[in-house]
């Protein structure tokens, strides 16, 4: 399995528009972060988690030619706003399968009503196959996906486990019984916003505590704000098996 980090930034991305914060002004490419998303390549199939506003650029950067499914963690704009740009994939492949909680599908239908229309569609609009998921394992083509349920302040969010790999973002609280589903995972990706605590996201300390509980072989931090600091500085203070993810990083599991 190959995982590509398409984006590792929090909702505004880094740099923030018009910001003079030193991290936003950094020339290190690892300090430039598009909105969070990962691409999973597994036995000839390609799965995308979230489809945010930087989706088009991320597809160009990664050279991705085919998407077999898009899984959504939740409906916030930084995770869904690129959906219109699935058009090139739709033209080649036909309806694109989506997997999401019913609440997220409802939100997508409202935001992108023209995509979900079945009659009198405007020519050129893409179509999708919406699959509602619950907090139960489901199969896509060749792989079983295990959802991990968590809370983003009050909002329900899904993380996903694919075999030895798990991806969780926008988490603030995860119950013990959900953490148990991560047992034995080799690579864990989890959100770490900044040093200070935040009402709806793990800060660095909470993310590291969570990693310690799950105890994967290695872990990567994502959904990063400029307030976490420079990539090279933060990387130095992390435990040995924990890494800051950065855009275009590829890992093999
Ligand atoms: Zn987010
Ligand atoms: Zn969110």
CA of residue 152 to ligand 2 center, whole Å: 7
CA of residue 36 to ligand 1 center, whole Å: 7
CA of residue 187 to ligand 2 center, whole Å: 22
CA of residue 228 to ligand 1 center, whole Å: 15
179-187, Cβ contacts within 8 angstroms, sequence gap of 24 or more: 179/210, 179/213, 179/214, 181/146, 181/148, 182/148, 182/214, 182/216, 183/214, 185/161, 185/214, 185/216, 186/216, 186/217, 186/218, 186/253, 187/3, 187/216, 187/217, 187/218, 187/219, 187/220, 187/251, 187/253
Query: Encoding tokens for residue 213?
Result: 């509980």
CA of residue 122 to ligand 2 center, whole Å: 30
For 143, the enclosing helix (H) or strand (E) is strand 143-152
pLDDT of residue 39: 98
Ligand nearest to the backbone CA of 13? 1
CA of residue 119 to ligand 1 center, whole Å: 33
Residue among 252, 243, 240, 233 nearest 31 (CA): 233
CA of residue 197 to ligand 1 center, whole Å: 16
What's the pLDDT tens digit per position in 33-72?
Answer: 999 999 999 999 999 999 999 999 999 999 999 999 999 9
**Pair 77, 53: CB distance under 8 Å:** yes
CA of residue 191 to ligand 2 center, whole Å: 11
CA 161 – CA 145 distance, rounded (Å) = 6
pTM greater than the 0.75 cutoff: yes
Query: Encoding tokens for residue 144?
Result: 């079983």
pLDDT of residue 173: 98
CA of residue 76 to ligand 1 center, whole Å: 6
The residue with tokens 């990083």 is: 249
Please return the burial class of 185, using the count of CB atoms within 10 Å of its CB with bins 0-12, 13-18 and 19+. buried
Ligand nearest to the backbone CA of 35? 1
Low-confidence ranges of the chain (pLDDT < 70): none
Ligand nearest to the backbone CA of 53? 1
CA of residue 8 to ligand 1 center, whole Å: 10
CA of residue 57 to ligand 1 center, whole Å: 18
pLDDT of residue 38: 98
Query: Encoding tokens for residue 90?
Result: 């739709």
CA of residue 210 to ligand 1 center, whole Å: 18
CA of residue 121 to ligand 2 center, whole Å: 30
**Pair 149, 160: CB distance under 8 Å:** no
CA of residue 11 to ligand 2 center, whole Å: 8
The residue with tokens 């090139």 is: 88
CA of residue 198 to ligand 2 center, whole Å: 12
CA of residue 9 to ligand 1 center, whole Å: 8
């Amino acid at each position: 399995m190959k995982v590509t980090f398409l984006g590792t930034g929090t909702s505004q991305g880094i740099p923030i528009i018009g910001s003079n914060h030193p991290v936003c002004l950094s020339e290190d490419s690892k300090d430039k972060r598009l909105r969070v998303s990962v691409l999973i390549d597994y036995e000839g199939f390609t799965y995308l988690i979230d489809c945010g506003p930087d989706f088009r650029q991320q597809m160009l950067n990664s050279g991705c030619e085919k998407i077999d499914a898009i899984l959504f963690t939740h409906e916030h704009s930084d995770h869904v706003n690129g959906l219109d740009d699935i058009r090139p994939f739709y033209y080649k492949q036909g309806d694109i399968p989506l997997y999401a909680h019913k609440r997220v599908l409802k939100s997508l239908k409202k935001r992108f009503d023209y995509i979900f229309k079945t009659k009198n569609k405007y020519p050129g609009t893409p179509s999708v196959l919406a699959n509602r998921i619950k907090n139960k394992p489901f199969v896509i083509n060749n792989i079983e996906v295990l959802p991990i349920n968590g809370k983003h302040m009050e909002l329900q969010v899904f993380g996903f486990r694919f075999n030895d790999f798990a991806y969780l973002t926008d988490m603030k609280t995860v119950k013990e019984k959900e953490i148990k589903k991560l047992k034995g995972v080799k690579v864990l990706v989890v959100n770490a916003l900044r040093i200070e605590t935040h009402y709806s996201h793990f800060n660095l300390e909470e993310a590291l505590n969570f990693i310690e509980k799950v105890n994967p072989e290695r872990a990567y931090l994502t959904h990063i704000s400029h307030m976490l600091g420079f990539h090279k500085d933060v990387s130095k203070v992390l435990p040995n098996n924990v890494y800051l993810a950065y855009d275009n990083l590829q890992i093999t599991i």
